[in-house]
Structure formats: C-alpha cells, structure tokens
Structure 1
Amino acid sequence: MSGSRITALGHYQPSGVLTNFELEGMVSTSDAWIRQRTGIVTRRIAGEEESVADLASAAAAKALAASGLAPAEIGLVTVATCSAIDRCPSIAAQVAASLGVPAAVCFDLNNGCAGFCTALACADHSVSAGAARHALVIGAEKMSDVTDWTDRSTCVLLGDGAGAAVISATGHNDAGIGPVVWGSDPTRGHAVRLVDAWQPYFSQEGQTVFRWATTELATIARDACRRAGIAPADLAGVVTHQANLRIVDSLVRQLGLSKDAVIARDVIDSGNTSAASVPLALSKLVERGEIPSGTPVLLFAFGGGLSWAGQVVTCP
C-alpha cells in the first residue's frame, strides 16, 4: 500500500448574497441577534436554475485544472451531499460527465456535515490500496432547497456552495492524509436531520448540538492529531465544519494550538454549508496563501447523525 495526499483544491459559491438585514424582512430576527448567536453576517444562495451538480461541477473543474491532470486520469469521483434531490444518476456521475471523466467509479456519500471528511477518508483508502491513482472528492450543498424560510432558528444558518479536492497516490510511507477518526452517536441522530424525505427541510435541536460540539468533540479532534503523530500545537491550521462561530471558537480554544495557527472562520461570510463547509473554507485559505504548502492542517467535521470525521492533512 502507498499513501495519498491532496494535490489541488477548488471551490465555488453562487453569486446571490443573502444578508442578515434581508433576513430581518423575512422572519422575526435581527442582524445583532444572528451575529451574537452564530457569527454569520452573509450567506450565498443559489438560483433556481443552479443544482447541486452544477455547484459540485464548478468546484471540481477548478480543482482538476489546478492539479494539471487530464480528466481521463481520474479514477474515482465521490460527492458528499445531503441536499441533492437527484438519486440516480448520482451527483458524482453528473460531475464526471460534466468534466469529461470517462470511466471513473462514481458515487455519492451522505454523512451530513461530516460528509466531506468521510468521503476524503474513503478516497484515501481507495487510492492507498491501489484501486485508483487519482480521485476527485467534493462536498456540495444547496441547503437553500431544504431550508424552512419561516423557521427563524434555522433559516439564518444555511448557505450554498461547494469545495473540491484532487487526491493522488504517493510513494510508500509518504502519506499526506493522516488516519481518519470517525464515528457517530445514533442515539442523538434526531438532533440534526432532514425531515420528510420527499420534501425535506432542515431541522435542528440547537442547544443539544451546541452542548455536544463544545463539550465532546475536542477530545476526538485531539485523537486525530495523535493518530497522525502530531501535537495540536504543531498544526499550521485548523479547518472545522463551519456550523456556528461560537462552536468553532470553543473547539479551537480547547485544542491548545500555537498562536500562529490559522483558523478557518468562513462561516461569517458563507454560513453553514454542511458537507461543503470544510473543503470550501480550506480552498479559500490556500488560495489566499494563508497556510503554507507542506504544513499540517487538521480537518474536522461534525453534524447530522450525530456523526464526526476528521484527519490531519498536508496542505497542498
């Protein structure tokens, strides 16, 4: 078995911006309340004509172009999403068709907000075992399609977007994607879910999720570092699921990071984009040059299920 590493990233967000002030005219809320409780200022909303496959394809096209690979070199395409309406063909198959990837294995994966880190681990395992040499891993969500715009406790949270990563095989003992830490607590699966499978809408028990995320997840994140053989203080960056700024800040405070570590806070501008949030935030940080190439970054996602997944990766 060889290892694998992320070699390129890409992201896409729709042009439509929904501000807190606009939400004040839609439900009983305020800009001050939203900022205080969530840290969110704006979120991107896709147009009616934009599908999850469109968002995923746009992000994946940027990642593929950045990698320098030809479409025919991609042997695996997987899309993490919980908001896609299409069942078959999969979103991954639609992305492959859009990019001209001729013969890859294509599948979608639904693990809620933890989906991208879960899909990244699955692709890493496949590439490391030799089932594919190069893979496209995408997190894409159109959460506006599953938002109850009359529910002021949830509609202020959600946004649309996509992020993608190309991962490639490396030599033996040259792993750029660390061992995954993943799992779930199905006894609390009702706390974050899509209700009514055929016309779904997002539902969340906010206090339950907040307590779980701020009291239990730091230990799991530290375990991901331990399995990668790195101390949290040596991380160059941390990209957690962008659920809520208070959760992000609480989690990173508990990790004992270096003062120089870069923390993703894309939730401020993008809202909660579920499975898209980790690759979207990571791609932006790398594009802006905020995390040096070759340095260790913790990716850690959590949400519906209640599920979690995370790993330390080498920044491309």
Structure 2
Amino acid sequence: MSFPIRSVIAATGSYIPPTKISNESFANHRFYDQEGLPLRHDQATVIEKFKAISGIEERRYAQSDQQASDLGFLAAQNALESSGIDPESLDYLIVAHNFGDIAPGTNRTTQVPSLASRIKARLQIKNPACVAYDLAFGCPGWLEGVIQANYYIRAGDARRCLIIGSETLSRITDPFDRDSMLFGDGAGALILEAATGGNAGVLAHCTQTHAFEHAQLLSMGVSNAPQQADSQDLFMKMNGRKLYELALNHVPLVIKLALDKAAIPLSAISKVLIHQANEKMDRAILHRLFKLYDMPLPPEALMPMTLSWLGNSSVATIPTLLDLLLKGSLESHQINPDDQVVFASVGAGMNINALVYRF
C-alpha cells in the first residue's frame, strides 16, 4: 500500500537581534502627519496611545554590521544546526523579504544577487540542484513560501525545502512617521520535508490577493517631513485605517476557507499563529473569526503573541513565533503531537493567506 506524500516540519530556527529599542527611545522624536504638520499631541501621549493600540513596548534592531541576508543566514543556520540536517540535502532555499539588503545609514536597497543566493553561499551549499530564489509577497511572504514548498514536495519535485523570512524594517521606515514605532528587525526559518504515513503535515491552505481596490494600502512614499529628510529617499507608508478594515473583513474569511478545505472545525484548532502586526487588529481578527462560527470569544491562550517585545518584523514574525513556541521559549504556550494549528497573515499587495497544519 502506498501512502500519500505529506509535507512535515523537520526543523525551525530564528535570529532575534540583541539591540532592544524601547518605546521610550522615541521620547525625543518629532512625528508629523501625512500633510507635513506636527502631531498635535505631545510625544508622551503619542507613545502612550501607540502602546495601548499596538501592544508594543519594545522592538529589536539589527546591529550595524548586519543586513537582512545576515539575519536570514543566522536563522537558517540555527534551524540546520539544531536539527543536524545536512544543508546539501536541501532542494529549495526560499527567502521571503520585501526590501533586500539595506546597509545602515541609508535606505537604498540591494537585491542582486538575490538574498537566497547570498544565504546559500554563506551556508556553503555546493549542490547546484538546490534552487535558491527570493519571494516578495508582503508580510505573508514567508507563509506563501511554505505553501510553495508544500507544492514542490507533494508533486515529488523536492524532498526538503528551507523557507526563510528576514527583514530589516528599521531601515526603510520614516523616522518622522509614528508608524515607524511598529516595526522591528529579525529572521525566522523552517525546514519542510517529505514524509509518508502518519497524520502530521500541511492539511490545506488558502491565498488571496486584493489588489483591485487595495494595492496601494502599503506603498513607498516621501517622508512626512520632507524638509528634514533627503528628498530622494522613499519610505514604507501605509493607510492604517483602511488596512485594518481590510484585515477584519477578509482575513477571517480566508482562514475559514482553509479550515473548510481541511474539513476541520474551528473548535478543533489548538493555536492560531497570526502575523504579529498590531495587537488590537490581531485580536479583532480572531474575534471576527469566532463570530463566523457563532462561537463565544476565544481563550487568551489560543493566540500566542510576541509583539510586546519584538514588534512587527514582517515576514519574520510567524517563523520566529513558531520557533520560540516549539522550543519552549514562550511561557504558558506549547504545541503537542496531534495539535492542529492555523497560520495566517495579511500584508502589502494586499495579500492574505492561511495554512492549516497538524503536528
């Protein structure tokens, strides 16, 4: 009897930069609105309101000698060394990011060669059959990389894939925009491999792109204070209110579509690992999901969070969260065999995805 090929998690890894940036580090910043006018509230009030909405108290920044490919390499190295997997056995090396490598002191990006090729070289992988490529898909990029790897494995095209999410958002955000307080740097990695028999593995996924009306909710633009910044520089900008509405209206539906494909009720889910974007938004998404099923409000332990101390590191948030969870580094949270978990993310594009996995 032959068994269908399943894609199972073989290893995880992460790299959390050691440089901590607290909310108080922004006490002497001066923020402006999109019209170029100073915010009317004093900075202490701005920071207080920011913490109440986002749940963020501090974030991590890459060190001056590190770029996104360096963080990604360290996360990949952590996954490989902690599992003992031979790097030469990898068939695909997929790196999700949005801005490439950005040297400190500038917001100019470099993406040639690809970050995937840079990391493959750093890992000293000689096998030319290990295909290395980058994936730019907004914050859902890492999860989309897992979805792609799952296709390769189930089609018999790959036995083992390394998917990395790495970003240094601190270097592409506008220092005169209060949204800059949301973002941090970091990297996470996962190795997905083929298995037969058993019940563990990727069960289903769903991906959507809402570009027709919403492509520009996250885009690049000039500083909120162009008179104080280099006029040639472009920074990441977002329409927070519209993005919040899109997330609430569509992310719960995408999660439900993935659960329906897997034929699994929400009541059977042990954890929801969602992109760590904004605590208020993430909790509202979860509440809206439970309303779709006419279920009471979810228990606090269902959705572990790292936002308070890591901030929003884009593609790195979910793999970092997963690595910490599987390695017992999140207090009061754990994943057990046979637990069924939902992953979900939303970001630039606007892209939304969800994946159901059984451990």
1:313 is matched with 357
Structure 1 SS opposite 2:196:
coil
Q: In percent, how many aligned pairs have the same letter?
A: 27
2:276 is matched with 242
1:229 Cα deviation after fit: 2.1
- Confirm whether residue 188 of structure 1 aligns to residue 204 of structure 2: no
Structure-2 separation of matches of 1:131 and 1:97: 22
1:94 Cα deviation after fit: 1.3
1:8 is matched with 11
Contact 2:287–2:298 (CA under 8 A) maintained in structure 1:
no
1:199 Cα deviation after fit: 4.6
Contact 1:6–1:314 (CA under 8 A) maintained in structure 2:
no
For 1:1-316, what aligned pairs fall within 5 Å after superposition? Answer: 2-28=5-31, 29-30=43-44, 31-84=47-100, 85-103=109-127, 104-152=130-178, 154-171=179-196, 176-186=201-211, 187-195=213-221, 199-256=233-290, 259=299, 261-288=301-328, 290-315=334-359
Contact 1:55–1:161 (CA under 8 A) maintained in structure 2:
yes
Structure-2 separation of matches of 1:72 and 1:213: 39
The one-letter code matched in structure 1 to 2:247 is A
Structure 2 SS opposite 1:230:
coil
The one-letter code matched in structure 2 to 1:300 is A
CA distances 1:120-177 after superposition (whole Å, capped 9, x unpaired): 101111111122211100111010111111111x111110001100000011685611
Contact 2:173–2:180 (CA under 8 A) maintained in structure 1:
yes
1:314 Cα deviation after fit: 2.7
Contact 2:286–2:298 (CA under 8 A) maintained in structure 1:
no
CA distances 1:51-107 after superposition (whole Å, capped 9, x unpaired): 101100111111112332111111110000002133222111111111222221000
Contact 2:200–2:338 (CA under 8 A) maintained in structure 1:
no
1:258 Cα deviation after fit: 5.9
Structure-1 separation of matches of 2:154 and 2:113: 27
Structure 2 SS opposite 1:220:
helix
Q: Unaligned regions of 5+ residues in structure 1, if any?
A: none
Structure-2 separation of matches of 1:286 and 1:171: 22
Per the alignment, do residues 191 and 62 of structure 1 end up closer, same or farther by CA in structure 2, a change over 3 Å counting? same
Structure-1 separation of matches of 2:30 and 2:323: 32
Structure-1 separation of matches of 2:162 and 2:274: 20
Contact 1:71–1:102 (CA under 8 A) maintained in structure 2:
no
The alignment's TM-score, normalised by the length of structure 2, stands at 0.82
- Structure possessing the higher radius of gyration over alpha carbons: 2
Bigger shift: 108-117 or 291-300? 291-300
Structure-1 separation of matches of 2:327 and 2:220: 32
Structure-1 separation of matches of 2:56 and 2:30: 16
1:262 Cα deviation after fit: 3.0
Bigger shift: 154-163 or 228-237? 228-237
Contact 1:179–1:224 (CA under 8 A) maintained in structure 2:
yes
Q: Unaligned regions of 5+ residues in structure 2, if any?
A: 32-42, 101-108, 223-231, 291-296
Structure-2 separation of matches of 1:90 and 1:287: 30
Structure-2 separation of matches of 1:225 and 1:27: 45
Contact 1:243–1:274 (CA under 8 A) maintained in structure 2:
yes
Please, what is the CA RMSD of the aligned residues? 1.9
The one-letter code matched in structure 1 to 2:259 is C
The number of aligned residues is 313
